[in-house]
Amino acid sequence: MTGTPWQGDVVGLVEAFRAGERSPTEELEATLAAVEASDLNAVCHIDPDAARRGAASADVSLPYGGVPLAVKELLAVGGWPAAEGSIPLKDEIFTHDDISVERLKGAGAVAAVQTTSSEFGATNQTTTKLHGATRNPWNLERTPGGSSGGSAAGVAGGLFTLATASDGGGSIRIPAGFCGLIGLKSTFGRIPRGPGAILGNATSVEGTVSRSVRDAARYLDVTNGFDGRDPRSLPRVEGYEAGLGTHAGEVSSLRVAIVPDLSCAVVGPETEELVIEAAEELLAAAGMQRVDLDLRLPSIMGVWGATGGVGIRKSLGERWPDCAPDLGGVERYGQFAADKGFTIDAMARAETRRAEFNNAMAAMFDEVDIVLAATNPSTAFAAEGRIPHVFEGRESKAGNNGALTAPANIFGNPAIALPAGLASDGLPVSLQVLGPHFREDLLLEIAQIWERVHPVELAI
């Protein structure tokens, strides 16, 4: 009889394989059965035959030897659907593997299922005309967030341990936050993208949503490093997982500010209170030094949204505008805005605002080393329907749902989402830790200190 999928972290699963306590074939069959029985709608494609061949021949000495891999539908796996969550692309097929997928397979991961995303990754609600609504395992009426909603729902809901994600405005951290997981957005360029990736509306990165800090570190170890197909990618850095626990002295000297709303978003009062409590607890546990910060970040969401249609247009090609009725409203608007408003003057205004914002972020990190904030303005909202503009009684403008996470994308610095307990509605709240460029090691060290007291809890 097929058992249940592994409910621990990825590193623990690999250790179980090596100890002979579990086999890759057993784990794969449990994963496939769980996906089939699930009501989360987190998976949009399954490749059972290729996965079974991979599991049968797995080398468990590798970092991910035999682990079933779930790949977000925006990331390429050769031979898998390339729909990007959009009806006009429903018959397209990827012809190659994404660079990070290549590296994950090379480390022994067995590509098994494709996870749902919002259409073109454009919103933080994973609901599309093509696949329907993906559900949050903590409450099926709520969204797991987006755009990596299927990956987060599946990892938090116990379907699989290893899933790819990507983050162009918060799409790793938002769903990690809504589902009670760890979500690391690395420095722009740390993990190469593509081949064929464009800059788009923000400095997008690839990554994962995790059940443990060591899982996040191992993923970075496997996937980071320069690749010529992404000329903006950074040189390889070794030893993220091995380095855990070695930076405590440096962490205790860090200057830290607590700014729940980052001065650029509206955060609900209960969420704000819980984030402040978590931040103060983390400060005490890590021995970090709290400093006051008069933060004034300029608004950036208009720029982020105005330029987002470029990627959509690249994907749609000559299908636009005939395909407009098949697109979701946000995607249709974004494409229309790109067609009508992406003039050289508009680009100049966007780049001027982007430069102002980057200068403000640089000034912030001159005063502090770490900023603690909310990841999301409130707990997860409805799985279907309009994205809210009121958060626990506080009204906001459009774009507030990503306003807390987009700053790290525009500036390109690393940030990590950490589970910070449950709100009164029983749903996860998330603490976001923002660090300076290239210091994922510090964020992982801080996260591990937090994890000792607040480990990830699955929604099962």
Instruction: Give the max Cα distance, the chain.
Output: 64
Annotation marks residue 129 as catalytic: no
Which of 199-237 are b and which e, b meaning 16 or more Cβ less than 10 Å from the residue's Cβ? ebbbbbbbbbbbbbbbbbbbbbbbbbbebeebeebbeeb
Q: Which secondary-structure segment (H or E) carries 337?
A: helix 329-341
Burial class for 15, CB neighbours closer than 10 Å (0-12, 13-18, 19+): middle
Sign, CA torsion 266/267/272/276: negative
Number of residues in the chain = 460
Q: If you search the block for the tokens 């100049």, which residue do you land on?
A: 348
Q: Are 115 and 150 in contact (CB under 8 A)?
A: yes
Annotation marks residue 171 as catalytic: yes
Query: Residue 110: left if φ>0, alpha if ψ -120 to 50, beta else—which one?
Result: beta
Catalytic position from the list 86, 100, 117, 147: 147
Going along 42-198, which residue ranges are E strands?
Answer: 43-46, 68-72, 110-115, 127-128, 132-133, 162-167, 182-185
Tokens encoding 54? 């991979």
- Distance in angstroms (rounded) separating the CA atoms of residues 213 and 396: 33
Annotation marks residue 397 as catalytic: no
- Distance in angstroms (rounded) separating the CA atoms of residues 62 and 259: 41
- Distance in angstroms (rounded) separating the CA atoms of residues 410 and 354: 7
For residue 5, give every residue at least 6 positions away whose Cβ sits within 8 Å of its Cβ, in sequence order, or none.
27, 30, 31, 34, 68, 158, 159, 160, 161
Catalytic position from the list 100, 118, 148, 171: 171
Q: Are 135 and 142 in contact (CB under 8 A)?
A: yes
Catalytic position from the list 72, 166, 185, 210: 72
CA dist list (Å): 180 to 173, 356, 362: 10, 33, 30
Residue numbers annotated as active site: 72, 147, 171
